Structure 1
Amino acid sequence: MASFNYVLDEPARVLFVDDDPILREFAKVNLSSELAVVDVAEDGVQALECLRGGGYDLVVTDLEMPRMGGFELLEALREAPLTRYLPVVVATGREDVIAIDRAFAAGATSFVVKPLHWRLLAYQLRFVLRTARVEAELRRAQESAAA
């Protein structure tokens, strides 16, 4: 049986935000590849510090974290011009309707429930990245056409 590499297969820089140090380490191990770099942050405050420099293609964030949770992080990302369109996947243990609706209202691109299935998450991140890149190309084309 042929081996199948299910990690991210396109160049990408991912920020994984979670207060659980074990999940942060799992994210590095399970989502990194020769083409994909996974950085980690322990909460929304640290995530915003990482994101100030730009260069990220995707954020995966938990909702419930100390100092700044995922909802507040989403709102801050959507308010800033640099991160307004940055895809954000919410990965949380909460699966109640209120959390789901609030996450999407705050600007989440996608939503997954813990415990994380790393293979499924990698596929979902591939899809989210590809979609975000196509949307960015469309925005650039629209801006060019308007100019």
Structure 2
Amino acid sequence: MSTFFYVLTEHARLLFVDDDPILREFAQVNLSTSTVEVDVAADGVNALEALHRQTYDLVLTDLLMPRMDGFELLGCIRSDHSFAHLPVIVETGREDVSAIDRAFDAGATGFVTKPLNWRLLGYQIKFTLRAARAEASLRLGRASATKTAA
């Protein structure tokens, strides 16, 4: 017999970007915890507006959306120095090789296919956040060592 537990237990703020309003609601229900806040955006344009208003620890984005799709959103995120290290997980119904390659070439950190398994996605987010935070700690340590040496 197993007991329920939340996968995401560390503090985090996530931005979930998808044009499907039901999926956005599912994301808030399935990923939010007492320590994790989930904001949503309907497309890349709304996502960029949110990114400039709020600091996020991770973005999850669909690829196929109106106005600005996920590929364009990835390009905008990676071209903005302030988001250079922001992890972005693509969540999409596309699983063709060209979409996978194009997403990673554009700067995706991870890739999951729909329909989403919320438990598996929770683990992917948890480990992506852990890696991003470890990398940030290393960058900070390297910057401190450089300043001390100078």
* TM-score exceeds 0.5: yes
* Structure 1 residue 113 displacement after superposition: 0.5
* Structure 1 residue 13 displacement after superposition: 0.1
1:125 corresponding residue in structure 2: 125
1:23 corresponding residue in structure 2: 23
Structure (1 or 2) with the greater helix fraction: 2
1:14 corresponding residue in structure 2: 14
Q: Distance in 1 between matches of 2:81 and 2:119?
A: 32
Q: Which residue identity lines up with residue 139 of structure 2 in the other structure? A: R
Please give the per-residue CA displacement for 1:53-111, whole angstroms capped at 9, x wherever unaligned. 24200000000000000011011101112111100000000000000001001100000
In 2, are the aligned partners of 1:7 and 1:33 still within 8 Å (CA)? no
- Would you identify which runs of 4 or more consecutive aligned residues in structure 1 move more than 4 Å? none
Q: Distance in 2 between matches of 1:28 and 1:3?
A: 22
The unaligned stretches of length 5 or more in structure 2 are none
Aligned length: 147
**Identical aligned pairs, as a percentage?**
65
Q: Distance in 2 between matches of 1:33 and 1:71?
A: 29
* Structure 1 residue 2 displacement after superposition: 4.6
2:141 corresponding residue in structure 1: 141
CA RMSD of aligned residues (A): 1.0
1:95 corresponding residue in structure 2: 95
SS in 2 for 1:56: coil
Q: Distance in 2 between matches of 1:84 and 1:60?
A: 15
SS in 2 for 1:52: helix
In 2, are the aligned partners of 1:17 and 1:44 still within 8 Å (CA)? yes
SS in 2 for 1:33: coil
Q: Distance in 2 between matches of 1:144 and 1:53?
A: 29
1:35-54 counterparts in 2 under 5 A?
35-54=35-54
**TM-score, normalization by structure 1:** 0.97
Larger Rg: 2
Q: Distance in 2 between matches of 1:81 and 1:53?
A: 16
